[in-house]
Amino acid sequence: MGEILALVEARLLTALGEPDARAAVTFLGTDRIEVLRFVDGDVVRYATLGMSAQPMADPTAVLADPVKGPRAELILSVRAGLADTDKVLRPLAVLAASPQVEGLVVAPGASLDVGGPLWPGAPFSSVLVAEPGGLVEDLELDGPAPHSGSAGGGGREAAGPRDPVRFLPLLPMTHNEAAWKRVRGAQELQERWLSHGTDLRDPLRGSVPLD
């Protein structure tokens, strides 16, 4: 687990530079989740570190595979200095811990709700999970080490490589946008944002017209 997180952190630093702050949150019964903050001009990015330590498991599976399965970290980008967005650290950690706590498999197109404003006064309480690859490239992982055999037998090779770690952008949604997305789907909402030139990094923006 530690080896994977070291590789994940190195990939984040390569893509985003040195973080200027970091915080750690631990929830009962889960591994520690860190949130790193990166400043890039007038944009501040928050990236989780710890979600990818374990693969996400299908909640309908009888037994979770400890090696195979999708892995991800979350990235949120907002314009700096317009709101107290540093308060998003705990909601982000909650979302990053949700695969361990709730058995969720977080994937592009999904909606994630934190049950309250992402930061004080935010018009958003949920996010849309976007496609990865644009900001931080997927991190390919080598296969796990072979299982050691008994004293009298040979080693047993673990089956197959691990899934790559995907760095999933989060796009804040207003209440109306989240409701519209549930009916019309993620692609139509993203097309609506695009057609209206919506600045998805604006922490104070209003809902896109949905008529």
Tens of pLDDT, residue by residue over 146-177, are 444 444 444 444 456 788 999 999 999 999 99
For position 2, what pLDDT does the model report? Answer: 74
For position 207, what pLDDT does the model report? Answer: 94
Q: Average pLDDT in the 54-68 region?
A: 69
Q: Average pLDDT in the 78-82 region?
A: 94
> Which pLDDT band holds residue 74 (cuts at 50, 70, 90)?
very high
For position 63, what pLDDT does the model report? Answer: 61
Q: Which strand ranges, in their side-by-side order, compose the sheet holding 165-174?
A: 21-25, 33-40, 43-49, 71-79, 165-174, 124-129, 111-113
For position 149, what pLDDT does the model report? Answer: 42
Strand partners, 88: none
Question: What's the CA gap between 206 and 121, in Å, rounded?
Answer: 12
Element (H, E) at 60: none
Contact by Cβ (8 Å): 16, 49: no
> Which pLDDT band holds residue 185 (cuts at 50, 70, 90)?
very high
Question: What's the CA gap between 67 and 86, in Å, rounded?
Answer: 33
For position 152, what pLDDT does the model report? Answer: 43
Identity of the amino acid at 194: L
Tens of pLDDT, residue by residue over 22-42, are 999 887 777 889 999 999 999
Mean pLDDT of the chain: 87
What does 105-172 look like in DSSP terms, one character per residue?
---TT-EEE-SS-SSTT-SEEEEEE--SSSSS--B--PPPPPBP--TTS--BPPPSPPPPEEEEEEEE
For position 60, what pLDDT does the model report? Answer: 59
Tens of pLDDT, residue by residue over 129-147, are 999 988 899 999 876 654 4
For position 153, what pLDDT does the model report? Answer: 44
For position 161, what pLDDT does the model report? Answer: 76
For position 147, what pLDDT does the model report? Answer: 47
